[in-house]
Structure formats: C-alpha cells, structure tokens
Amino acid sequence: QVQLVESGGGLVQPGGSLRLSCVASGITFRLYHMTWYRQAPGKQRELVAHIQMGNIPVYADSVKGRFTISRDNSKNTVYLQMDSLEPEDTGVYYCHAENLDYWGQGTQVTVSS
C-alpha cells in the first residue's frame, strides 16, 4: 500500500515561514527521487522543488533562494522549508515519488496579510 501524507501547511503572513513534511510508506523511499508540486486555484500544478536519491536539490526559479528541500531516508520523509513567503506561493502543496501514480491529499498553504 503506497501512501503519501503531507502536512505542515497553514495561514501565514507575507515574509513568514512554513515547514512542510511528506511521509511516504509502501515504497523503498531511499530509491526514489522526490518532488514537491503546488497548485493554485485556476492554475496547472507546477513543480516547486525536486531532490534526487543522492540528495541533489533542484528548484523552480520562482522559489530559488527562498525554499529548501531536504530528505531524511531514515524517516521516509521529504521536507520543504519555505521562507520569505509571498502571496503567489499560495496553493495546495503535494509531494510525489518519481514514476508512481500515487498522491496524497496535499496541504494548503495560504499567504495573506
């Protein structure tokens, strides 16, 4: 049973921070590239950050310098540290394991004054 559970979202003011977590089960976590996506109302889901098995991170230009992706293979968890949040960061955030068609419920991030 593959399961991805995202958490850590909430309401934050511009300039604030949030730390998202995604716990995976049912897979050999250390063998998968992991990706964070987000989807804002009326928009396509977009890639936010990606981390390979070897812990090499890649970021979308829109979040580079503000977000940090990391993983802890001992906990089957991928994290997204979000700093200097902007209203444009608002959306539902999802994690995804490469080549697997399984998604969690996502976690809502709202950035508003």
Q: Kindly state the average pLDDT of the residues 78-95.
A: 98
pLDDT of residue 80: 98
pLDDT of residue 28: 94
pLDDT in tens, 9-67: 999 999 999 999 999 999 999 999 999 999 998 999 999 999 998 889 999 999 999 99
pLDDT of residue 54: 84
Q: Note whether 108 and 41 are within 8 A (CB).
A: no
pLDDT in tens, 94-113: 999 999 999 999 999 999 99
Q: Kindly state the average pLDDT of the residues 74-99.
A: 97
pLDDT of residue 42: 92
Q: Kindly state the average pLDDT of the residues 81-100.
A: 97
pLDDT of residue 93 exceeding 90: yes
3-state SS of 17-66?
Answer: CEEEEEEEECCCHHHCCEEEEEECCCCCCEEEEEECCCCCEEECCCCCCC
